[in-house]
Copies of this chain bind each other. A is one copy, B any other.
C-alpha cells in the first residue's frame, strides 16, 4: 500500500515506529504493535505499528525520527507499506511468559533485537516481568551475560590480569571507587573502570568522578588512558559496552524490578576484559540487601556466574546502614575523596572500606598483606599521584585543589533538638533530601553530615548542612527534612520501630543503580 510520509518530529527511543490511520491498518490487516515493512527509494526497514483514529489521515503514515533517518525520507514522500512477520524473538518472549527455559540462541536473538530497536516497550516490559517472576537460572544468566557482551563493544587491553570492582549500590555517599582505582593502579594492576550515572540516587560514581575530570570518553580514549596509567574512571554511557542493559533499565526502573542484575553487571565486566573482580554488597536496613544471609546468597550467584564467564569473583559484604563518609552529592563527595587521598581529611569508614576492597583485589592477584599494602599506598601519597595521572590522561586539571571544587552556596544547617547518641540514619529520605536540593544535576548540591551512628550529640549541635545552588531547591530539601525522619537521636534504641495503623502502601527502598 502506498502512503504519504508525515514527519512527526519525535524520537522513539531508538525503536523503528510508524503511526497508521485505523482504516489503513485494517486494510493492511495489521493491529497495534504488529510490524510493517516500509520501503523508501533505496532501502527498507521493519517498523512497529501504532494506530490512531485522528491526526494521521487515511493515506498517510506518521514517521518517527529513527525511520526518517534510516530511509532518508522527506516530508510528503511516498512510501510502500506492507505487513511484515513478527520478529522470531517475539515468539521466544512468549515462550518465556509460559515458563519455558530459553536456550542461548534464543536469548541472543532477543538481546540482539532489543539492541536493534526491533521490540516494543510492551514486549520488553512483559519479558522483564516474566524474568523477574521466574528468576534466571545459572544457564540463562550465563547466556544473557554472553549475549549482552556479544551485542556491544569490547575493550582490548593486552594484559594477562585485568581487575575490576563493582558495588551493587544502595548506600548514599559511596565514593569508594575514587580511592580504589588509584590505589590499585598505583600497585601496578590494570583497572579499566567504567561507572554509571545516578538513576535514583543522589550521585552515581560517574557523577562524582566528573567533578574531578571529564568522564565522557569513547572506547579508544579509554584504552589510551588505561595503557598510559593502568587505570581509568569513565562513564559507561558512551562506550556501548553491553548496550542492551541500558534499554532494559529504561523499562525496569518504572517497574522497580531488576531481574537482570547479575548479567548486566557481569557483562560489563566481561566487556572490559576483566578476569578478577571484587563485588561490594552493601548490606543492612535501608539498602538493597537487608540481611547477611541474603548477601551471602547473592555472593554465591555472582561467584558461580563469574566461574562460567572466566572471571574470578570475590565479594565484600559491607556495612550499609548509613552513608559512607560525611558527604552526599557529587561535588561534596569529590572533595571528601580528594581530601582523603591528599591526607588532609580523616574519614575512617571510607578509608576502611576502600582499603579492604583494594586489598582483596591485591591479594586475588597474588600479592600478600593486601589491606596493609593498600593503606600504605594511600598514606604514602602514591594513590594521590596516580589519581592526578589519571585526571591528566582523561583531560582534566591534574593540579586540582580541594578549594577549586565549588559546592552549593545556598546552605542551611540542621541542629539537634535533643541530646544523646546518633542511633540510626535513614538512607532513603536522606537521599531524597540531597536530590531535592538538586543532586545529581546540580553538582554542588547535597548534604554534609557532621555525625555518624554512635556519635555523641549535644542539644543545638549541628547534625547536617544542606547545600544547594538555588533557593527554591534548598527550601524543598528543608521541607523534606521536616516531613521525614532522617536521623534518630536518643540515649538508647527505641523498641517501637513504627506503628502500622492503617493498611500500609509498601514503597520499596529498592533502587536500580549500577
Contact = CB atoms under 8 A, between A and B. Distances in A.
A496 interface: no
Contacts of A501: none
A158 interface: no
Interface in A39-56: 52-55
Interface stretch (A28-36, A286-294, A421-429, A487-495): A28-36
A507 B506 CA distance: 39
Interface string A479-509: 0000000000000000000000000011110
A121 to B, nearest CB: 5
Nearest to A507: B91
Interface stretch (A171-179, A248-256, A298-306, A395-403): A248-256
A209 to B, nearest CB: 18
A123 interface: yes
Contacts of A133: 97, 99, 129-130, 133-134
Contact of A199 (B11, B31, B200): B31
A85 B10 CA distance: 26
A52 B97 contact: no
Interface string A238-274: 0000000000001101111100000000000000000
Contact of A65 (B55, B122, B255, B505): B55
A62 B10 contact: yes
B94 A251 contact: no
A95 interface: yes
A355 to B, nearest CB: 34
A508 B93 CA distance: 13
Given A29-B441, A33-B254, A11 B54 contact: yes
A404 interface: no
Interface string A57-96: 0000010010000000000000000000000101101110
Contacts of A507: 91
A126 interface: yes
A254 B29 contact: no
A97 B132 contact: yes
Given A52-B11, A130-B129, A32 B94 contact: no
In this complex, the member of A29, A120, A122, A123 whose beta carbon has the largest number of chain B beta carbons within 10 angstroms is A122
Contacts of A11: 52-55
Nearest to A94: B256
Interface string A16-32: 00010000001101011
Contact of A54 (B34, B65, B123, B251): B65
Say how many copies of this protein the assembly contains.
2
| Count class of interface residues, chain A | 35 or more
A436 interface: yes
Nearest to A257: B97
Contacts of A55: 9-11, 65
A198 to B, nearest CB: 10
A251 B132 contact: no
Contacts of A257: 94, 97, 126
A435 interface: yes
Contacts of A54: 11, 65
Contacts of A250: 32
A94 B252 CA distance: 11
A393 to B, nearest CB: 28
A93 B506 CA distance: 11
A125 interface: yes
A436 B9 CA distance: 33
A8 interface: yes
A255 B122 contact: yes
Contacts of A506: 91, 94-95
Contacts of A120: 254
Nearest to A255: B126
A19 B10 contact: yes
A65 B8 CA distance: 14
Nearest to A441: B26
A91 B32 contact: no
Contacts of A65: 54-55
Contacts of A130: 129, 133
Contacts of A99: 133
A94 to B, nearest CB: 5
Interface string A444-486: 0000000000000000000000000000000000000000000
7 contacts: A11-B55, A31-B253, A32-B253, A90-B254, A91-B505, A94-B508, A122-B122
Given A32-B254, A34-B254, 16 more contacts: A8-B8, A8-B10, A10-B55, A11-B52, A11-B53, A29-B435, A31-B199, A32-B253, A97-B257, A121-B122, A121-B125, A122-B251, A123-B255, A126-B126, A126-B129, A126-B257
